[in-house]
């Protein structure tokens, strides 16, 4: 039995995926739009000695497995990849054929990361953020574009540019928060400072942004100085839990909750609640998953080992409930799932347009991690295996006043 016969047994022919192996065998249509090419025995060893997702990722990141054609299209055709359709006899035969590759377990590619220390301690969180966000500011600039916004954009229409959509997102957050000149804004997990800059420039607030990425903080502070806004805005390199100031008028948390851990939601939202003045608002923007019965994190997943170490996702219901229990009155909530799929489509195109520069800047292995991760994430949003929710909460006054209009006119698309 050749490796291509193994592939053909697992992947149904109607998926239309071609396959070539180093043993000279082939499977699938010869004119397939996408083809997988297993280039050497080490790739087979990676696949045979780890769970399918992690093994395939290791083989791809190392270059032992190549995708000929569009990465997103390949993943869309392969998903879901399982062996549930096989008989016990067929599974036993596959195990026998793969046995020679199980005997040797190669070391994972150097891009794979396993953190040490207490989960979600400040030191371990800093290590996780450093792994993902301190790749290279130039690398991120090529992928994200001039906005340097690494969160879901909001597209006013499908043909809008990525920059227009990111501006729309920041403006939507500002309007949900009811920002007015002179207000004080805290932006936790501020990235490269896009939200801070937009709020200060267009709404006249004073803003503090906080990030655990040294490279983000350096970029953001320079952007603030270049805009002549140093008297109104600041980007701090540090943990949001170390911010001493209180009585903020508004808090924006755009893409942070995914990193803090489900067990820490109560303390996280309680901390934010205490930082607000009465009548202050918090906007929480985070990736969620629709099925909250599944584990919140997978230690051996590709995303955990290569992209977001210690990242955890929860269902929107659990997040809203925890936010409510912390004292917030929930005033608005929406799912922007399709917008994140569009955002990732733009990021994938940006990476391909700057592929040679990205490889030179960050290394081939890192570039391949990003190509795979962004295509897979785009597919996840398209297939509703992950979502993006914005939730607006208010800290009521002693008289139970919210300060929110009877009807919020947000022009949400």
Q: Which of 40, 71, 102 is the last residue of a domain?
A: 102
Reduced to 3 DSSP states, what percent helix, strand and coil does the chain have, rounded to the nearest 5?
Answer: 45, 15, 35
Give me the residue label for tokens 């932006």: 187
Please give the pLDDT value at position 295: 57
**Judgement on whether residues 134 and 88 belong to the same structural domain of the protein:** no
Give the number of domains in the chain.
Answer: 2
Which has the closest alpha carbon to 292: 312, 264, 311, 308?
312
Q: Has residue 403 been placed in a domain?
A: no
Please tell me the distance from the alpha carbon of residue 269 to that of residue 188, in angstroms, as a whole number. 12
Span 250-306, pLDDT tens digits? 999 999 999 999 999 999 999 999 999 999 999 999 999 998 776 555 666 898 888
Cβ proximity of 144 and 150 under 8 Å: yes
Please tell me the distance from the alpha carbon of residue 169 to that of residue 18, in angstroms, as a whole number. 40
**Judgement on whether residues 98 and 132 belong to the same structural domain of the protein:** no
Q: Has residue 206 been placed in a domain?
A: yes
Please give the pLDDT value at position 320: 97
* Encoded tokens for 370: 């990003």
**Judgement on whether residues 269 and 201 belong to the same structural domain of the protein:** yes
Range of the domain at 249: 122-394
* Encoded tokens for 372: 């795979």
**Judgement on whether residues 71 and 218 belong to the same structural domain of the protein:** no
pLDDT tens-digit profile, the chain (413 residues): 799 999 999 998 999 999 999 999 999 998 999 999 999 999 999 999 987 689 999 999 999 999 999 999 999 999 988 777 888 888 888 888 888 899 889 999 999 888 888 887 888 888 887 777 778 899 999 999 999 999 999 999 999 999 999 999 999 999 999 999 999 999 999 999 999 999 999 999 999 999 999 999 999 999 999 999 999 999 999 999 999 999 999 999 999 999 999 999 999 999 999 999 999 999 999 999 998 776 555 666 898 888 888 889 999 999 999 999 999 999 999 999 999 999 999 999 999 999 999 999 999 999 999 999 999 999 999 999 999 999 999 999 999 999 999 888 776 44
CB-hemisphere CA count at 13 Å for 404? 23
**Judgement on whether residues 82 and 143 belong to the same structural domain of the protein:** no
């Amino acid at each position: 039995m050749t490796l291509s016969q193994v592939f053909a047994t697992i992947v149904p022919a109607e998926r239309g995926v071609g396959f070539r192996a180093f043993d000279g065998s082939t499977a699938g249509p010869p004119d397939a739009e996408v083809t997988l090419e297993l280039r050497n025995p080490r790739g087979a060893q990676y696949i045979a000695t780890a769970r399918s997702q992690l093994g395939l990722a290791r083989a791809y990141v190392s270059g032992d497995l190549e995708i000929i054609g569009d990465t997103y299209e390949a993943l869309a055709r392969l998903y879901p990849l399982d062996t549930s359709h096989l008989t016990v006899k067929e599974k036993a035969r596959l195990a026998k054929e793969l046995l020679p590759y199980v005997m040797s377990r190669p070391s994972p590619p150097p891009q794979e990361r396993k953190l040490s220390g207490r989960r979600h301690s400040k030191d371990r969180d800093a290590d996780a953020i450093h792994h993902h966000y301190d790749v290279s500011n130039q690398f991120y600039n090529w992928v994200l574009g001039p906005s340097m916004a690494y969160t879901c954009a909001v597209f006013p229409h499908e043909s809008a540019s990525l920059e227009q959509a990111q501006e729309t997102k920041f403006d939507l957050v500002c309007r949900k928060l009811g920002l007015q000149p002179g207000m004080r804004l805290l932006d936790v997990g501020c990235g490269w400072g896009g939200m801070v800059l937009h709020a200060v420039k267009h709404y006249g607030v004073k803003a503090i942004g906080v990030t655990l990425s040294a490279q983000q903080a350096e970029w953001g502070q320079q952007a603030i100085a270049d805009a002549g806004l140093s008297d109104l805005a600041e980007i701090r390199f540090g943990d949001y839990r170390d911010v001493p100031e209180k009585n903020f008028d508004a808090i924006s948390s755009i893409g942070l909750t995914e990193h803090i851990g489900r067990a820490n939601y109560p303390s996280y939202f309680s901390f934010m609640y205490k930082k607000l003045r009465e009548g202050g608002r918090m906007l929480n923007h985070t990736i969620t998953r629709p099925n909250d019965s599944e584990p919140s994190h997978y230690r051996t997943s590709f995303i955990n080992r290569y992209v977001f170490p210690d990242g955890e996702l929860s269902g929107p219901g659990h997040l809203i409930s925890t936010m409510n229990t912390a004292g917030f009155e929930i005033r608005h909530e929406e799912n922007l799932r399709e917008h994140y799929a569009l955002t990732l489509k733009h990021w994938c195109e940006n990476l391909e347009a700057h592929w040679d520069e990205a490889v030179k800047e960050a290394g081939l292995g890192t570039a391949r991690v990003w190509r795979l991760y962004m295509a897979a994430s785009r597919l996840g949003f398209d297939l509703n295996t992950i979502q993006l929710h914005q939730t607006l909460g208010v800290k009521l006054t002693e008289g139970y006043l919210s300060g929110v209009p009877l009807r919020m006119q947000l022009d949400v698309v």
